[in-house]
């Protein structure tokens, strides 16, 4: 039974009486007072994460030139990085992993991938000028065939981040059992179990603090890229039905979020272009979600600490690329953050590729917004598919036409 509602919490925000703590602080609150008392005392717990999120990007409406040009169906480049043009005349989408056509990729191995879509987005939200080059085939109503100009966030109509998959609930720990260095989206992995890379804020991570998606759903207002965003849908590869602890905490990737927000209100401090040696370009995304403490169960979940959360250690030299299921072992985030774990009897040093200090900064900033009354909570208009939804991910296999009957 709920002790309070989101509407009641919003009233407290408006009156300046709301009690907000970060997810780190909630751990100590529950240790001191227990879940029952904490549920009565605390209204909102703020979370944060800042890590590489490849499935990110930005829509823009450029406005119409004179004479008009139909970029849709043509080609468009922003600082030489190609944008997707398969939509209307002057709408484009720039993906975080897009790269200039003349980038050598991995032809010179390992490739450096110095500049990509994520870097363009960082510069755009920082207010910098972006060079635009576009070509079109020309029509009677859109006769122009070429334009070269500069844009920034003040000269376009709309610019909004839309990311199909952000904020993984949990994720693998990457290791390398081969005898050579490998380059992956988990970073550079040293041979012979020489390193273990992980990418999660653990006890600050948003979906780990609402593991059953009771309060996070479609329409939830969030901190996104330094501005305000919303959960638009479950993210791609949302897979909530995997193994969980007896308390219901996921032990693998589990949930994801599709998110949207006004890029004009965002900051290069929280949207950062990045280059992964030998893998590609991407973007670090800052994301934080407020979790209302509706009852004792939510007090319990929001107070779970790093030693409660498990991650799977996966070999990225063989098992992962060959889609071989399973893991070498599982470890807690407390073990990962200690600087070393044991895999196959060997002590392995650990390295985060996401930023815990930045996640803490995001949770604290969101706490400040709520306390100041500038940020209120929203109730989901629809829940995300949960652990009992029966969702299972399909795979891309080579199929003959007759198999599709």
- Cα(52)–Cα(321) distance, rounded to whole angstroms? 19
- Cα(35)–Cα(302) distance, rounded to whole angstroms? 10
Sequence-distant (6+) residues with CB within 8 A of 8 are none
Residue 367, strand partner residues: none
Sequence-distant (6+) residues with CB within 8 A of 126 are 267, 268
141 is catalytic: yes
- Tokens at 72, concatenated: 């849709």
φ, ψ of residue 364 to 5 degrees: the values are: -70, -40
- Tokens at 304, concatenated: 């779970």
3-state helix, strand, coil in the chain (%, to 5): 20, 30, 50
Angle in degrees, 0-180, between the axes of helices 23-41 and 356-372, rounded to the nearest 10:
40
- Cα(71)–Cα(136) distance, rounded to whole angstroms? 5
From its phi and psi, is residue 384 left (phi > 0), alpha (psi between -120 and 50) or beta? beta
Whether 280 and 95 have beta carbons less than 8 Å apart is answered as no
- Looking at 76, 141, 241, 329, which residue is catalytic? 141
- Cα(163)–Cα(32) distance, rounded to whole angstroms? 39
Residues with a known catalytic role:
141
């Amino acid at each position: 039974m709920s002790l309070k509602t989101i509407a009641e919490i919003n009233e407290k925000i408006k009156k300046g009486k709301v009690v907000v703590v970060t997810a780190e602080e909630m751990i100590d609150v529950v240790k001191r007072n227990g879940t029952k008392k904490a549920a009565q005392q605390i209204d909102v717990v703020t979370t944060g994460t800042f890590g590489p999120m490849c499935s990110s990007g930005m829509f823009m409406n450029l406005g119409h030139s004179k004479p008009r040009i139909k970029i849709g169906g043509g080609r468009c480049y922003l600082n030489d990085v190609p944008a997707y043009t398969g939509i209307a005349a002057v709408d484009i989408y720039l993906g975080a992993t897009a790269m200039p056509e003349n980038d050598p990729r991995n032809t010179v191995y390992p490739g450096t991938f110095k500049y990509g879509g994520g870097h363009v987005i960082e510069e755009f939200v920082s207010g910098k000028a972006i060079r635009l080059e576009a070509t079109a085939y020309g029509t009677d109503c859109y006769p122009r065939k070429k334009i070269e100009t500069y844009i920034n966030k003040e000269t376009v109509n709309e610019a909004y981040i839309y990311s199909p998959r952000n904020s993984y609930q949990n994720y693998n720990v990457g290791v390398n059992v081969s005898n050579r260095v490998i380059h992956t989206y988990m970073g550079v992995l040293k041979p012979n179990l020489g390193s273990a890379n992980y990418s999660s804020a653990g006890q600050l991570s948003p979906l780990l603090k609402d593991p059953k998606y009771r309060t996070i759903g479609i329409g939830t207002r969030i901190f996104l890229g330094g501005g305000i965003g919303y959960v638009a849908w479950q993210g791609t590869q949302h897979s909530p039905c995997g193994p969980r602890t007896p308390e219901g905490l996921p032990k693998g990737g589990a949930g994801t979020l599709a998110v949207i927000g006004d890029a004009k209100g965002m900051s290069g401090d929280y949207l950062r272009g990045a280059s992964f040696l030998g893998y590609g370009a991407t973007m670090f995304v800052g994301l934080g979600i407020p979790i209302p403490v509706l009852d004792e169960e939510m007090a319990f979940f929001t107070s779970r600490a790093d030693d409660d959360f498990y991650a799977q250690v996966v070999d990225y030299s063989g098992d992962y690329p060959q889609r071989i299921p399973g893991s070498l072992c599982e470890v807690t985030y407390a073990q990962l953050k200690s600087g070393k774990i044991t895999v196959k009897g060997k002590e392995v040093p650990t390295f985060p590729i996401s930023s815990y200090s930045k996640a803490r900064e995001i949770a604290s900033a969101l706490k400040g917004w709520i306390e100041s009354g500038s940020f209120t909570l929203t109730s989901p208009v629809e829940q995300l598919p949960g652990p009992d939804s029966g969702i299972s991910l399909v795979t891309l296999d080579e199929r003959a036409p007759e198999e599709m009957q």
